[in-house]
């Protein structure tokens, strides 16, 4: 393995990323007054980069972009970064080249991996998805403006990956087979498709269903943490569920979302599926998959929570999050035991993971420590 020279301390890196988080927060408030070394306004630069990200990927709307950077502004504080990293022994890391192949389905979806590699003292060789190649460089540029030495901690790979010591790659089940063949001889984390589900009992409140609408609709349902399937008891009445979803009705005004809704509705009707439809969300019974197309959800029935918990345990490698509350959450959690995925979360929480909430339940920092 290659040994590198990283010219920063852990405190340097924490401080730089915390200042980047503060800059994002100030930008969203419209109070960002700091300038680059060349005298340009960071307020203008961030605005321009967000507009560029939206032009390059029309799923990245102003709302989703602002939600994403607000979440990172919340996460990137000295307190959060310190609390997260103090659980690991990072001061004596022997730095290595870690190749990162990121997804591009959500704004900044690959930034957590980038942060893990850099904060731990390794060098990130970043191969950004073409669908999200503006935002991570922006955050790194802001952080590096406060700590120029941070520039030794990352680089961008535009062609063939070479001279790497380990790999973290995220993609579909199909691309994962390629990743495993190509990178299998190096230490690696290779992520495949996962989905998230919600467990409904019929005892939920309208407030919980409105919170669930965030889990379903944020980022248009494109993420592995987006709820794509409902588990409901037999005889479940969907009225309260649809009432909760109604707070997101404006989504149908998005042209790409509307096109998906119309297309999927036509396909379902031609296939003579039984549908429930509220004019912006389609739901149909689906027993063979946790995934669902944009603007639709699958649902399936369960007999009892114990059997459902066993199903989740047997399919843990297909699930990212399970949204559940009360006895349902306890039963599922007890069944999963020491499994680190799927993560059990409350209604409305799937898209607000903390720094310690690792994709697929795989502790990325622990993996990076094994490279030294």
Identify whether residues 199 and 159 lie together within a single domain: no
Task: Answer yes or no: do 37 and 121 share one domain.
Answer: yes
* Number of neighbouring beta carbons within 10 Å of residue 48: 14
Mark which of 147, 165, 192 sits at the end of a domain: 192
**Is 98 a domain residue?**
yes
pLDDT tens, 67-79? 999 999 999 999 9
Residues 236 and 334 grouped into a single domain = yes
* Inside any domain, residue 113: yes
Are 174 and 222 in the same domain?
Answer: no
37 pLDDT tier (thresholds 50, 70, 90): confident
Q: Tell me what the mean pLDDT of segment 280-304 comes to.
A: 96
Q: Measured in whole angstroms, how far is the alpha carbon of residue 340 from the centre of its chain?
A: 16
CA distance 152 to 142: 15
Give the pLDDT confidence score for residue 1 in this predicted structure.
46
In a domain, 2, yes or no: no
pLDDT value of residue 89 = 92
* Same domain as 142, residue 34: yes
Q: Report, as an integer, the average pLDDT of 34-56.
A: 91
Q: What is the pTM of this model?
A: 0.95
Backbone φ, ψ for residue 87 (5° rounding): -80, -5
Number of independent structural domains in the chain: 2
153 and 205 inside one domain: no
- CATH code, domain carrying 168: 3.40.605.10
Domain boundary among 146, 167, 192: 192
Residue 171 pLDDT > 80, yes or no? Answer: yes
What pLDDT is attached to residue 211?
98
Sign (positive or negative) of CA dihedral 341, 346, 349, 353: negative
Output the pLDDT for position 5: 65
Q: What are 196-246's pLDDT values in tens digits?
A: 999 999 999 999 999 999 999 999 999 999 999 999 999 999 999 999 999
Residue 357 forms part of a structural domain: no
Within-domain flag for 353: no
Residue 225: give its domain's CATH number: 3.40.309.10
Domain extent, residue 261, equals 195-345
In Å, what is the CA distance from 95 to each residue of 87, 233, 257, 268?
Answer: 19, 52, 44, 52
Residues 228 and 169 in one domain: no
H or E element that contains 101: strand 97-101
Residue 276 and residue 317 in one domain: yes
Q: Is residue 265 part of a domain?
A: yes
Torsion angle of the four alpha carbons 288, 292, 297, 303, in this order, in degrees rounded to the nearest 10: 20
């Amino acid at each position: 393995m290659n040994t590198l020279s990283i010219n920063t301390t852990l405190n340097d890196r924490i401080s730089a990323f915390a200042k980047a988080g503060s800059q994002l927060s100030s930008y969203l408030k419209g109070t960002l007054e700091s300038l680059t070394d060349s005298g340009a306004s960071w307020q203008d630069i961030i605005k321009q980069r967000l507009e560029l990200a939206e032009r390059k990927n029309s799923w990245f709307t102003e709302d989703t972009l602002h939600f994403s950077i607000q979440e990172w502004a919340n996460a990137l504080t000295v307190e959060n970064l310190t609390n997260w990293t103090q659980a690991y022994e990072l001061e004596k890391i022997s730095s290595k080249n870690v190749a990162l192949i990121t997804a591009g389905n959500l704004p900044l979806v690959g930034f957590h991996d980038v942060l893990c590699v850099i904060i731990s003292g390794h060098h990130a060789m970043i191969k950004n998805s073409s669908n999200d190649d503006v935002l991570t460089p922006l955050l790194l540029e802001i952080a590096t403006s406060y700590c120029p030495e941070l520039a030794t901690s990352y680089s961008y790979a535009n062609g063939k990956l070479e001279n790497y010591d380990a790999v973290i790659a995220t993609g579909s089940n199909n691309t994962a087979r390629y990743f495993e063949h190509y990178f299998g001889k190096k230490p690696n984390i290779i992520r495949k498709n996962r989905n998230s589900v919600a467990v409904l009992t019929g005892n939920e409140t309208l407030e919980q269903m409105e919170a669930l609408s965030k889990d379903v609709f944020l980022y248009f349902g494109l993420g592995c943490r987006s709820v794509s399937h409902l588990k409901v008891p037999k005889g479940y009445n969907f009225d309260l569920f649809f009432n909760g979803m109604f707070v997101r009705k404006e989504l149908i005004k998005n042209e790409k979302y509307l096109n998906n809704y119309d297309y999927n509705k036509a396909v379902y009707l031609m296939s003579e599926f039984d549908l429930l439809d509220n004019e912006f969300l389609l739901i149909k019974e689906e027993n063979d998959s946790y995934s669902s197309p944009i603007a639709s959800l699958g649902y399936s029935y369960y007999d009892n929570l114990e059997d459902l918990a066993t199903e989740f345990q047997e399919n843990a490698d297909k699930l990212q999050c399970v949204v559940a509350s009360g006895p349902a959450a306890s039963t599922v959690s007890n069944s999963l035991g020491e499994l680190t995925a799927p993560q059990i979360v409350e209604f409305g929480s799937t898209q607000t993971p903390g720094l310690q909430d690792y994709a697929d339940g795989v502790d990325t920092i622990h993996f990076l420590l094994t490279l030294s």
